[in-house]
Every structure is written in C-alpha cells, then in structure tokens.
Structure 1
Amino acid sequence: MEFESVHYFLEGKTILVTGATGFLAKLLMEKILRVQPNIKKLYLLLRAGNSEEAAQRLHHEVLSKDLFRVLRGQWGADFVSFISEKVLAVGGDVSVENLGVKDTELREKLWEETDTIINSAATTKFYERLDVAMGINTMGALHVLNFAKNCSKLQMLLHVSTAYVCGEGKGLVAEKPFHMGETLNGSSRLDINLEKLLAEEKLKELEAENASEKTISSVMKNLGTIRSNLHGWPNVYAFTKAMGEQILMNMKGDIPLIIARPTVILSTHSEPFPGWIEGVRTMDLFVAMYGKGKLRRSVGRRSTIIDAIPADMVINSMIVALEACSKSCSKALIYHIGSSLRNPFRISDLEDLAHQYFTKHPLTDMYGKPVASSKKVTWMSSVSSFHRYVNIRYMLALKGVKVMNKVCCYGHEAFYNESKEKVKKMVGIMRLYKPYLLFEGIFDDKNAENLRMRKMKGKDDDDVGRFNFDPTTIDWTHYMLNAHIPGLVKYGVK
C-alpha cells in the first residue's frame, strides 16, 4: 500500500506518550502539535502523584522551553487554550503497574480512547542503580505493554530503545530482535526475573543494615555494572534496554509493535529550528570539554565513526514508521536510526570542527577572558594508558612542577586528596565512554532505508521534506558549525 499524508494520518489520533519530560518526547509533542493541530488528544505521562502535579511539571519542564517558540508564534494569544484543549498531563510512573495512574476514571478513559502509545520513558545514564534502571527501562517496557493490551482501540505501540543494545558490536550490526534470555557473550542464559530479584534482595539487605543513601546508591550502581558486564553489555543502560526489548518481543502477542533504535542523538537539524538541545549529551561532553580547554588527552581513535543523528530526524522516522505500520506497508519491527552506514562522521571530524568553531567563537572564563582550546587531542587506545597519564600528571603537579600556587594555597595533603578525586572522576568518565569512543560497528539501516524509499514514492511530496530522516542530507560541516555546536553552547554548556 502507498503512503498518503502524515498530516492526514495524524488527524483525529489519540496518542499516549510516556516519559513526557524527556528530550525526545518534548520534540515529538511539539512536532505533532505543529504539523497537525487536529489531533484528538495528546496524553502525556509524567512522573507525578496526580494530574495537578503532572500539569505543573508540564508547564515548568516542557512548555516553558524555547523549543515551543515557533508553536507559540503560530497560535499567539490562543496558545494556552489550544494546549488546554489538545494536551492532558497524566500523573504516573512506568516503573509500576498500570503506569502508576491512580485515578480509576482517567485510567479507564485512557484504555477506551488511546489508539497509539509511544514509550519514550527511560533513564539513559550509563552508570545507574540496577534497581532504578530495571524499573524504568525493563519493567517499564512490560508495564507499558500490559497497559497497551487493555486499550480497546489500540492500533500500534512504538518503543524507543537504543542502537547500542548491541553492546560493543563489530562489523555490520543488523536490525534484528533479541530472543528471550539472549546474552551478548553467550556465557549464560539471561533470566530477567532473576536479575530483578537480585536487585530487590540487595536493596533489602542494604536497607536492613541501615546503609546511607550514598552507600546504597554506590552499591546498586556497581551491581548494575557487574550484572551488565557478566552478560556482555558495557553498561546498565544498554543492558536494561536490551531486557526491555526481550520482554516486548516475547510477550507482545497481537500488539503491533515498532522498536526505534536511534544512535547518538544530537540537536535539531532543521525543525522547529536548528540547534535546539537540552543539556550536554553523550559525545557533547567532549565538545564542551574541548571548548573549555580541558580536553588534552582522551581514550579513543581519530578513525572511530561516531554514529550520530539529529533529534528531529529521529522524531520524523518514528512518525513515518507509525504511519507505515498503520498502512501495513512494512512488517519490519526494528529500525536503526543513524548515519554510520550512509554518511559516516568520525572523531577526527568532530575534533577538527570543534577546533574551527572555538577558535572563531571561544568560550569565556569567569573573568570574561577567552578560553584557548587545544589544537589537537592525544587519543589513547585504552583506559589503563589514560589512567597512567593522569596519575603522572597529578604526581608532577603535587611536586609543584606546574601548579606551585595550588600547592602553596592548599597544602600538599589537601592537594593530593583533590588530585586523587580528579583522577578517579576522569578515569571513570573514560571507562563509561570507552565502548563508544572505540566502537567498531556500523549500524545497518536497511529497514529504515526501505521506509524512506516508500515515503519518497508516496503521494505527498511535502512530507519528504517535512519528515526527512535521510542521513545523507546532513552536511556535517555546516550542521556542526552553524547548528549543533552553537546550540550546545547556548542551551547546554555552562
């Protein structure tokens, strides 16, 4: 069947979006309301005890963002009434049954009216407590699925995952599903219920010992890393997202399911305007450090491909995939949304463009003076070599080789303790990012490409531009220098 118009497809839809305060969910909400104001209803699930608290969060954490300035401009004085008519904030929590919606009447209404569910709720921290990550990324997927099965008019469920559920993959990474119990290293069968039980028992044990919140957090984070590594995943984020996918694929039944696997998500490419982003995300940490003159050495290779994709292209692909599912144009369930296969962007490109940008537009320090960024970063092939480097650096500093003023000011013992903490923090960051800075995989996007081809053959030519997610259309130099890095400086770097 042929595609028609996305505008027509969205008309009259009742959509439930989880994780509504998240980066992607905000963009999705803005895009839908901007291109199709005649949707029936947009229900936004936010972590809150009730709808009143949820409405407050929606106002302060979503609608107040600069992202909505174009939509505000379209509606002018009618913006508030338009939002009130089309959008309803729902208090809840994906980590509990029924998505934590306590209002029975509202829950029944959601089950009766919702025809599309988009699950974008997630914790994306690489170093997160196992119980927290499992609650949102794994059990949250199950709770969303069970909620979807109660929706009498449900047409489709779209689950936002990550391409990096593949772990430290090499070669061409296919858009294929996980089997229940599958691990990445084949060492043992993965039992999701056992992982959940281990997290619960460890938490109970710590609470019985009256451990401090700091201790509990540290132990549970370390447990997350241990369990992830045991089964072949580099961090608890990828591990718990992979388990969420396994649950969905194994238990979906007749529910039409789409799994979107974006790679590294960057700022907007085009809509609603170029360069919008929230905070410093993944690879942007290194851009920010470079701009601040703090990136001299790092784990990584200049030849490593950073599979990155602008956020608005992710949103566009998700909406087009929903349309395809509704038309039965595609039976493919999984879509890699990235650039490494068709328009690769390397660490060397990022470094060169960061240098070019910050040379022309340097950041300023606390005294208003321009910060000089280094010309070249020394890239190191292992965390251990980086660790040795920073240890030597701080030992020399301790002896007063380069920072005698600090040694005199703090005293040797205080400076030594401060240096140890800095070393620990820097090595910890490199250990977390190593799998991506040394990543050797290329993400196959065959399913996504077929989706693009079908869309281009559709009846509505305007859709091709308005819902573009073709990575070959990205001019990396222009985008980084004129959209992404300026947006990062404006919205993310402090």
Structure 2
Amino acid sequence: MDINSANKIMEEVDVIVESAASTTLNDRYDFLLDINVNAPLRLMRFAKKCKNLKLFVHISTAYVNGIREGIIYEKPLMMGENGRKHDDNDELSSSLFPLDLTDEMNLAMKACIASGDHDTTKDLKRLGLERAAYYGWYNAYHMTKAMGEMVLNETRQDIPLLILRPSVVESCYKEPVPGWIQGNRMYDPVIISYGKGQLPAYLADPNLHTDIVPVDMVANTTIAAIAKHGIMGKAGVNVYHVATDFVNPLRFNEMFEYIYEHFCAYPLVESENMVKMRLFDQFSNLSTYIRDHVSEQNTVVGVESKTRKHNKARVAYAEQLCKMYEFIGFFKARFHTGNTRALLEEMSEEERAVFEVDATKIDWKKYFVDIHIPGLRKHVVNATRLASV
C-alpha cells in the first residue's frame, strides 16, 4: 500500500475486517505463523493509527478451541492458553509453558536453518503438527488461528474487537445463488471423491454431530454483528460462534445418507454403481475395507491392466483423505451460539428477511441433495474440467 492510500484510510476508515488467512490444515509452520498470527498483529498496529475506527473485525474459526470437549462458549482466548482439556486426566496440561508467539517463531526459524536445503518444507510441516499436538490442537492451522486471536486481544488496548468463529463453511443456502461456492472446501473433496467411486469409506462416528454452516449465513452474521457493535463503539472483545449444531444438529450418518441419495439420482460417473458410505472408528479397519473394495472393483469389471502401483495410489489417496479429517469425525465439542441467537432476537423482521442468520431454518436434506452438491458440481467439478481443457 502506498503512503497516500494508507494516510487516507487512517483518516476515514471506521471498520476494518481482517479475513485473510492460510487455511491449509498442515502447511509449513513458519508460513502459518506469519500469515495467521503476524499479519493480524501488523494490521492491529495499523488500526491503532486510524482516527475514526469504530471496530476491528477478525474472521477466525470455531476450532481455535483445540481438543476440548463438551460445550464451548463464546469466550475470547487469552495469550498463553493451550487447547488441552484441562481435566484431571491430562497431567501435561498443567505442566506446559505458556504458549508464546516469539518462542514459536524462534523455533520455526531454527528449524528452517537446521534443515538447510534438504527438505525444509517437510520438516516445517512436521514441526507444526508436533507443536499443535503438544499444546492441544488438532493441526497447525487451528493452533495459529488461536494464536492470532490471542495477539489481537493482547495488543488491542481500547480498540473494540469483534471475533467471528465459523464452523465448517460450505456453499450458500440462498444468497446470492443457492449452492454457490468458490474452491474445494472442507467436506467437498470427500463428497467429490465419494461420487467418483474413489472413497467407499470414512473415519467417523455415525451418531456424532458434524457442524456445517452455509457461507451466506456467515456473511449475514458478520454484517449484523458489525452493525450492532460498530454503533455501540465500546472497547472490549465480543465473540460469535457462527455454527449450526447447537440449534439444528446434523449427524454423520444423516449427512452421508443425503449424499448417497443425490448421487443415486444424479450420478457423477455414469458407470459408477453407488454404494452407501461405510463409517469406521478404527483406521486399520478402514484401511482393510478400502483395500478389499479396490481389489473387488478390479475383479468385477475384469480390469487386468490396472497395475499394483495404480491400486496402491488409490488406496493411499483414500487413506490420506480420511486421516486428514479424522479429528472432525470424532469431534466431541459443541459450539454454543448464545451471542448469535441474541443477535437474531435483536434484529427487526425486515433485517431478518434481508440478513438470514437463523440456522433453524436449514433443511439439511434439501441443502445436500438439491443445493450444495449441485452447486459443488457446477462451480467446482465442472469449473475444474473447463480449466483443464
């Protein structure tokens, strides 16, 4: 940004929305720290120079709460916190040094220097996984987003801070177009792979809930919360969970039943005979089933030309996909949405109609069968094919 633009913003801006982030779950630790922690810190420093600023808005994720279980309330994180359960069975939690940004940056820098030119990226990805597991997060993305919240809260002084924590963000429910989505999001690689016959099984407890929120409800909640707290202009921190499970629960077995129903009616691959997704609670059982399924498929269609290497790659892809999202298949926390529900109650009937934030109105079967998967096919699958032509 040139100096004239920066000066003009500092004179005139009243709301800053900080939403840029690296969302790769296990990216290089130094990259994640720089983008998800240092960048918000730099922007908050800039915000303090803005003469008319009413509100600093930070888009986070509900999974900053780490491996904690039970009901997670809309409370800000404090610098030094970890994501562990804090119960009597977790002796490590009480013995941990407080989480510190400078220490983590120094650790990443030392790891980078020690790697030399050998395999720096691999080493730093592994470091991120190790640090996240040590401090109680499922991956380095969640950990660095939590640290981003911490540094904003610690450095804000009298700047009013609004934190939005969406759960798993998927395609629009209504606006601007039902099913619109940009990019291959959280569950979408799973859905597409299942539709192509590449993923016959998944790691998840069928009776556990999964928390999905359409992107237009995230946008609407953000706008409504900005309107409320921007007018108030009070110094402090307000946190909103933008989630659905607490008011409109969806179980894994229901979600995969709806996905199965869609692909039975509208196959993604005409030659693919759809079978219901098998859910496993043990990776070893999942792996065995996938290997047997791939072998059986080759036998049924009489494929002799498929090499062992090809079959091994298919199995490895399915296993890797399941392993990446394993945490969410057994996630035992629920995000309380009291602030979001209160926001809904404060809105007028006209505002509710224009800015839909009521998750109880989502019909999950309709969403998957008629909205999300058709949108995914149009905006992701077909777009990818066109781009490759």
- So what's the TM-score if we normalise by structure 1? 0.71
CA distance in 2, matches of 1:295, 1:202: 36
Q: Provide closer, same or farther for how the CA distance between residues 194 and 421 of structure 1 changes in structure 2, counting only shifts above 3 A.
A: farther
CA distance in 2, matches of 1:300, 1:381: 6
Counterpart selection for 1:235 from 121, 135, 139 = 139
Counterpart selection for 1:383 from 283, 304, 309 = 283
Counterpart selection for 1:174 from 49, 73, 87 = 73
CA distance in 2, matches of 1:443, 1:340: 7
Within the alignment, does 1:120 sit opposite 2:19 as a pair? yes
Aligned-pair CA distance for 1:424:
3.8
Structure 1 counterpart of 2:246, which letter?
Answer: L
1:201 alignment counterpart: 110
| Contact in 1 for aligned 2:59/2:165 (Cα 8 Å) | yes
Q: Tell which deviates more after alignment, 110-119 or 285-294.
A: 285-294
Structure 1 counterpart of 2:280, which letter?
Answer: M
Structure 1 counterpart of 2:158, which letter?
Answer: D
CA distance in 2, matches of 1:132, 1:383: 30
| Contact in 2 for aligned 1:168/1:234 (Cα 8 Å) | yes
1:372 alignment counterpart: 273
Over aligned residues, Cα RMSD in angstroms?
A: 2.3
Deviations 1:15-71 (A, max 9, x none): xxxxxxxxxxxxxxxxxxxxxxxxxxxxxxxxxxxxxxxxxxxxxxxxxxxxxxxxx
Structure 2 counterpart of 1:447, which letter?
Answer: N
Aligned-pair CA distance for 1:285:
2.0
CA distance in 1, matches of 2:110, 2:130: 15
Within the alignment, does 1:464 sit opposite 2:352 as a pair? yes
| Contact in 2 for aligned 1:383/1:434 (Cα 8 Å) | no
Q: Provide closer, same or farther for how the CA distance between residues 194 and 329 of structure 1 changes in structure 2, counting only shifts above 3 A.
A: closer
Within the alignment, does 1:333 sit opposite 2:242 as a pair? no
Matches within 5 A, 1:259-270: 259-270=163-174
Aligned-pair CA distance for 1:294:
2.2
Structure 1 counterpart of 2:61, which letter?
Answer: T
2:387 alignment counterpart: none
Structure 2 counterpart of 1:196, which letter?
Answer: M
2:362 alignment counterpart: 474
Q: Provide closer, same or farther for how the CA distance between residues 429 and 290 of structure 1 changes in structure 2, counting only shifts above 3 A.
A: closer
CA distance in 2, matches of 1:269, 1:382: 34
Matches within 5 A, 1:50-449: 101=1, 103-185=2-84, 186=93, 187-188=95-96, 189-206=98-115, 209-211=116-118, 215-328=119-232, 333-364=238-269, 369-374=270-275, 376-390=276-290, 405-406=303-304, 408=305, 410=307, 415-416=308-309, 418-449=310-341
CA distance in 2, matches of 1:252, 1:235: 26
| Contact in 1 for aligned 2:198/2:318 (Cα 8 Å) | no
CA distance in 2, matches of 1:392, 1:266: 32
Structure 2 counterpart of 1:283, which letter?
Answer: Y
Aligned-pair CA distance for 1:422:
4.2
CA distance in 2, matches of 1:391, 1:172: 38
| Contact in 1 for aligned 2:190/2:321 (Cα 8 Å) | no
**Number of equivalenced pairs:** 371
Higher Rg of the two aligned structures: 1
| Contact in 2 for aligned 1:172/1:444 (Cα 8 Å) | yes
SS class of match (2:173): coil
Q: Structure 2: state its 5+ residue gaps.
A: 85-92, 385-389
Aligned-pair CA distance for 1:210:
2.8
Aligned-pair CA distance for 1:258:
0.3
Aligned-pair CA distance for 1:403:
8.1
CA distance in 1, matches of 2:135, 2:313: 30
Q: Provide closer, same or farther for how the CA distance between residues 133 and 428 of structure 1 changes in structure 2, counting only shifts above 3 A.
A: same
SS class of match (2:241): strand
Deviations 1:149-174 (A, max 9, x none): 11111110100000011123321111
CA distance in 1, matches of 2:136, 2:302: 45
CA distance in 1, matches of 2:61, 2:153: 15
Q: RCO greater where, 1 or 2, for CA within 8 Å and sep 6 or more?
A: 2
| Contact in 1 for aligned 2:218/2:242 (Cα 8 Å) | yes
SS class of match (2:177): coil
Aligned-pair CA distance for 1:390:
4.2
| Contact in 1 for aligned 2:163/2:237 (Cα 8 Å) | no
Deviations 1:56-106 (A, max 9, x none): xxxxxxxxxxxxxxxxxxxxxxxxxxxxxxxxxxxxxxxxxxxxx3x2222
CA distance in 2, matches of 1:436, 1:349: 15
Deviations 1:360-386 (A, max 9, x none): 11113xxxx453321x22111133432
Structure 2 counterpart of 1:472, which letter?
Answer: T
Q: Structure 1: state its 5+ residue gaps.
A: 1-100
CA distance in 2, matches of 1:146, 1:154: 12
Deviations 1:101-148 (A, max 9, x none): 3x2222222222221110110111112110111111111111111111
CA distance in 1, matches of 2:35, 2:214: 24
| Contact in 2 for aligned 1:260/1:336 (Cα 8 Å) | yes
Structure 1 counterpart of 2:146, which letter?
Answer: A
| Contact in 2 for aligned 1:235/1:432 (Cα 8 Å) | no
| Contact in 2 for aligned 1:302/1:346 (Cα 8 Å) | yes
| Contact in 2 for aligned 1:175/1:445 (Cα 8 Å) | yes
| Contact in 2 for aligned 1:169/1:439 (Cα 8 Å) | no
Matches within 5 A, 1:15-30: none
Deviations 1:216-249 (A, max 9, x none): 2222111111111111101011010000011111
CA distance in 2, matches of 1:106, 1:308: 38
